[in-house]
Amino acid sequence: MWGVPLLAGDEKADVILLKFLRARDFRVSDSFNMLEKCLAWRKEFRADGVGEEDLGFKELEGIVAYMHGYDREGHPVCYNAYGVFKDKEMYERIFGDEEKLNKFLRWRIQVLERGISLLHFKPGGVNSIIQVTDLKDMPKRELRAASNQLLSLFQDNYPEMVARKIFINVPWYFSVLYSMFSPFLTQRTKSKFVISREGYAAETLYKFIRPEDVPAQYGGLSRPNDSQKPASEFTVKGGEKVNIQIQGIESGATITWDLVVVGWDLEYSAEFVPSAEGSYTIAVEKTRKLSASYVAIHNSFTPREEGKMVLCVDNTASKRKKVAAYRYIVRKSSLE
């Protein structure tokens, strides 16, 4: 199972068998029954080979369900967002009949299997993933059948594979939705839930995932093909102005920076201050107020003389403390 011989007597097999025991509260006969059914399902479903299949869902990759980065403890993170299915044409194309639904379920299992391939299966290692589910614009009625089937498949065949389940952009009706699928969940599963209402996605995710690993659309610094350089985290107190100074930028070098403040609603500006006396400060980004929904700043500048970049975060108009993060990289001129 997942490339591990269960009867080999090694520590990886122990980790997998322990998952089934925990899922059934250490009732051995129930755990063994669950394991047998899971092995039979994996054979029938051809789960071992699903990770390599081309199921034709290119339009959903990186949008509906995808693996992206790791949490602060090293767990792979899987993001889920079903808001695109509020579009009726998209919904019909993906879920229009039972055959299409089954194909989608296979694709969703494929994403999970690829995430599981990143696990260690070692005592004390990273043996589970993080699930982040974005409920914004999710068409609750239409996706009921798919949601119930997915929950059933995951709970019956992937015991203890999720370390934490984070729901973000949770609407007011979530309590109704939760009551629908709650009976399908064990108490152990429910204890892993983190609920974050709309507008608090970044603030919640930062508790578990570093800013550079949180996708930009959720208030993080991660964009496709971006620098993987770690970010520096800081707080901006209410009534405070913070100036981030990046010193020692040479003439002709290009500085690229990312900056994000959770729940912005404050003023931001960037200027370049030359080292030479008598030189003028350059307003790279004029002072502007950024709304709460603004995503991360991503900009670059190439000065003609050496100096420093100053990024200003002005929270003097607010009483609320803000969590923030930034990173930068300086590339010297290729003419040197």
State the DSSP string of 229-290.
PPPEEEEE-TT-EEEEEEEEEPTT-EEEEEEEETT--EEEEEEEEESSTTPPPEEEEEEEEE
Cα-based angle 260, 266, 268 (whole degrees, multiple of 5): 65
**Res 174: pLDDT:** 73
pTM: 0.88
Q: Indicate the CATH number for domain 11-198.
A: 3.40.525.10
> Could you give the 3-state DSSP secondary structure of residue 151?
helix
Query: What kind of architecture, by CATH, is found in domain 232-331?
Result: Sandwich (2.60)
Lookup: tokens for 214? 């949180």
pLDDT in tens, 87-112: 989 989 888 888 999 999 999 999 99
pLDDT for the residue 191: 83
The answer to whether 45 and 109 have CB atoms below 8 angstroms apart is yes
DSSP three-state, residue 99: helix
- Cα dihedral sign for 203, 204, 209, 215? negative
Alpha-helix runs per DSSP H in 51-97: 88-95
Domain extents for the chain? Answer: 11-198, 232-331
CA of residue 133 relative to chain centroid, distance: 9
pLDDT of residue 225: 76
- Give the pLDDT of residue 245: 97
Tens-digit pLDDT string for the chain (336 aa)? 999 999 988 899 999 999 999 999 999 999 999 999 999 999 999 999 999 999 989 889 889 999 999 999 999 999 999 999 999 899 898 888 889 999 999 999 999 999 999 999 999 999 999 999 998 988 877 777 788 889 899 999 999 999 999 999 988 777 676 777 777 777 777 788 898 888 889 999 999 999 999 999 999 999 877 767 899 999 999 999 999 999 999 999 999 999 999 999 999 999 999 999 999 999 999 999 999 989 999 999 999 999 999 999 999 999 999 999 999 999 987 654
Instruction: Please tell me the predicted confidence (pLDDT) of residue 335.
Output: 54
